[in-house]
Amino acid sequence: MEKRCFKCLCIKPLVEFYAQAKMADGHMNKCKNCTKADVIKHRRANLERVRAYDRLRGSMPHRVAARKAYSKTAEGLVAHARARRVSAIRFPERHQARIALGNAVRDGRIKPWPACAIADCEHKPEGHHPDYSRPLDVVWLCNEHHRAAHEVTAA
């Protein structure tokens, strides 16, 4: 069976239309390609609002739990390893700085701070490299402040 898209006016097979139970034939009147183009256009036009929604949606407890469960599966572990390999290739200076810092901590040449360097923050710190060419010169920040430091430098 075929159907005409009301946007591009092309006649396409039903598999080229998303399912929609409320429609008489069970499929949307707009083809998948036109739907995707509209979604991209809407996202670009409303980027800040869509990003705020994405952050809110991603922080919902059931989604956090699902990500945590996925990260422990074999597929999740493979995906994480692949992402680390890609990151090491894309950002070799960062990768080398992380390795150098990790080795220095392991060997006892550098001792991590017990808490974040930001006043009144007691969370567990991680090493932040303001300059990757100096891998042992780090600021010890908690994850939240570390992300904020990178947002400032990216802007």
Q: Does the residue 98 lie in any domain?
A: no
Q: Does the residue 17 lie in any domain?
A: yes
In the prediction, which pLDDT does 75 show? Answer: 98
d(CA 35, CA 12): 14
Looking at residue 124, the DSSP 8-state letter turns out to be P
Relative to beta strand 139-142, strand 125-128 is: antiparallel
User: Residue with structure tokens 């904020």?
Assistant: 148
Go through the chain and tell me how many residues it has. 155
Relative to beta strand 139-142, strand 11-13 is: unpaired
The parent domain of residue 16 ranges over 2-58
Tokens at 51, concatenated: 């990003």
Q: Does the residue 7 lie in any domain?
A: yes
d(CA 36, CA 60): 25
Q: Does the residue 47 lie in any domain?
A: yes
In the prediction, which pLDDT does 133 show? Answer: 95
* Nearest residue to 16 (alpha-carbon basis) of 1, 107, 24: 1
**pTM for the whole thing?**
0.61
Tokens at 140, concatenated: 């010890």
Structural domain count of the chain: 1
Lowest mean pLDDT among 91-95, 109-113, 123-127, 149-153: 149-153
In the prediction, which pLDDT does 9 show? Answer: 97
In the prediction, which pLDDT does 150 show? Answer: 87
Q: Does the residue 18 lie in any domain?
A: yes
d(CA 87, CA 94): 9
Q: Which tens digits make up the pLDDT trace of 114-146?
A: 999 999 999 999 999 999 999 999 999 999 999
Q: Which tens digits make up the pLDDT trace of 33-63?
A: 999 999 999 999 999 999 999 999 999 999 9
Q: Does the residue 122 lie in any domain?
A: no
Q: Does the residue 45 lie in any domain?
A: yes
Beta-carbon count within 10 A of 24 CB:
7
Q: Which residues pair with 2 in a beta bridge?
A: 13
Give the Cα-Cα-Cα angle 121, 125, 129 (nearest 5 degrees).
115
